[in-house]
Structure 1
């Protein structure tokens, strides 16, 4: 029985490692999505500022 438990250890560690890798990939994807959203908002804000400034300068 003890020998069998010893054989199962590496299998469970392997599965846990794959689960952890999957979780990290999901979190990275969420982070990339948030970063892309922030960048898009920043670009839109910059464009809005350009329009306001150009209207003010050009009259």
Structure 2
């Protein structure tokens, strides 16, 4: 059984492209600075996928 849905993987892929372009922003509503780290970009993409209701495991505490 897959942990992540294919559409969630696509969201991560597009977020990494946005990071590379410099258009991926952190913070609520993208009001923060530009994302520098790869891990941060993946975390943002997974949280966006979670909000859309895609199959993503719950956030670890």
Please, what TM-score do these two structures have when normalized by structure 2?
A: 0.30
Q: Which has the higher contact order (CA 8 A, sep 6+)?
A: 2
The structure that is helix-richer by fraction is 1
Bigger Rg, which one: 1
